[in-house]
Amino acid sequence: MTTIPATTFKTIRDMLRYAVSRFNHEKLFFGHGSANALDEAAYLILHTLHLPLDKIDPFLDAHLLPQEIDAVLSVIDRRATDRVPASYITHEAWLGTYNFYVDERVIVPRSFIAELIPEHFSPWVGDPDDISQILELCTGSGCLPIMLADMFDRAHVDAVDISRDALEVARRNVETYELQDRITLIESDLYTNVPDKKYDLIITNPPYVNSGSMGKLPKEYLHEPQIALAGGDDGMDLVRKIVAGAAQRLTDNGLLMVEIGNERAFAEAAFPELNMTWLSTSAGDDMVFLVEASDLANFKA
């Protein structure tokens, strides 16, 4: 840990300036919530001092107690030296307006599917009230099923993960949102232990990072469970299994939605004859594809 006398700092403004300089000097990667050093530094400082996360200005020139300075310096050092993602330091992550508990048992929640849920996947879903059964694969922290249950208030969500550790985190989040009656957590290797029933929606943000990219990931990602990231040589190992098993588990009008990050070229190469619709997100039209049950019916995996 970097040793700096507490007397070097007096105010939050001092701490903020120092944190931004450290983060920029260490060339940190910001891919787990904040987009830049200033936003991440402000978030970590405010969280550590138990201050409102959206109101730093009134506190910038507030003088800090020695123990508060020590606490902030410790957090800055974990982020800058150890490259620990901010969400693992604070044990919280945000998707839109939703807040989730996270730790090193799950990847930090980040999903472009989450952007599409508040709109009820319009226009592909005509009436949200018609959605009664949803299957969500590779659930991790449980963030997507919580959002799905919240927005599709007549639906039950089966949320699946192979990791028992991840499901413990998901269970904590489901209980926080008091959705135990609406979400069933299932320990399963994809469809293996999934109930024998039909789903209106199958949603998944699976591991999809190809082997070439895995070796180039920033240090921050090395703190995350690699099983939740690695998708094989072309990133499509699990995606192939998900697509192959979807037809028999979807209703006649059901939809499969898969997030594959920057792997569109690999996805199209893996499924050259599959009619995939690419959905628009804040990152463009390359991150999420949708397939209708009718197109899966005759698809040969």
- Secondary structure (DSSP) of 149-202: HHHSTT-EEEEEES-HHHHHHHHHHHHHTT-TTTEEEEE-STTTT--SS-EEEE
Instruction: Clarify whether residues 252 and 109 are in a common domain.
Output: yes
The CA distance from 32 to 10, in Å, is 29
Q: Is residue 266 part of a domain?
A: yes
Res 2 pLDDT > 60: no
Instruction: Clarify whether residues 119 and 24 are in a common domain.
Output: no
Question: pTM score, two decimals?
Answer: 0.92
For residue 129, what are the contacts with CB-CB under 8 A and spacing of at least 6?
154
What is the percentage of the chain residues whose pLDDT exceeds 90? 82
Q: Which domain holds residue 216?
A: 104-297
The helix/strand/coil state of 99 is: strand
pLDDT in tens, 159-174: 999 999 999 999 999 9
Instruction: Clarify whether residues 255 and 174 are in a common domain.
Output: yes
Average pLDDT over residues 79-99: 95
CA torsion 148→113→186→90, rounded to 10°?
Answer: -90
Burial of 224-238, coded b for 16+ CB within 10 Å and e otherwise, reads bbeebbbbbebbbbb
The CA distance from 214 to 206, in Å, is 15
Q: Is residue 153 part of a domain?
A: yes
Q: Of 90, 118, 135, at which residue does a domain stop?
A: 90
Q: Is residue 243 part of a domain?
A: yes
Q: Is residue 146 part of a domain?
A: yes
Q: Of 56, 90, 124, at which residue does a domain stop?
A: 90
The helix/strand/coil state of 232 is: coil
Q: Is residue 203 part of a domain?
A: yes
Q: How many domains does the chain have?
A: 2
Type of residue at 185: L
Q: Is residue 274 part of a domain?
A: yes
Tell me the CATH number at 31: 1.10.8
Instruction: Clarify whether residues 32 and 156 are in a common domain.
Output: no
Q: Is residue 99 part of a domain?
A: no
pLDDT in tens, 30-77: 988 788 999 999 999 999 999 999 999 999 999 999 999 999 999 999
CA proximity to 91, closest of 100, 102, 80: 102
The CA distance from 42 to 12, in Å, is 9
- Parallel, antiparallel or unpaired: strands 98-100 and 133-137: unpaired
Q: Is residue 98 part of a domain?
A: no
The CA distance from 147 to 143, in Å, is 6
Res 255 pLDDT > 70: yes
CA proximity to 242, closest of 274, 283, 211: 274
The helix/strand/coil state of 85 is: coil
Question: What is residue 301's predicted lDDT score, i.e. its pLDDT?
Answer: 60
Res 300 pLDDT > 70: no
Question: What is residue 46's predicted lDDT score, i.e. its pLDDT?
Answer: 97
The CA distance from 7 to 200, in Å, is 60
Instruction: Clarify whether residues 182 and 56 are in a common domain.
Output: no
Res 1 pLDDT > 60: no
Instruction: Clarify whether residues 83 and 109 are in a common domain.
Output: no
**Can you count the helices (H) and strands (E) in the chain?**
11, 9
Encoding tokens for residue 183? Answer: 């979400």
Beta bridge partners of 257: 203, 290
CA-based torsion, 51, 56, 57, 62: positive or negative: positive
Tell me the CATH number at 155: 3.40.50.150
The CA distance from 180 to 170, in Å, is 11
Q: Of 90, 123, 158, at which residue does a domain stop?
A: 90
Burial of 167 (0-12, 13-18, 19+ CB in 10 A): buried
Instruction: Clarify whether residues 114 and 71 are in a common domain.
Output: no
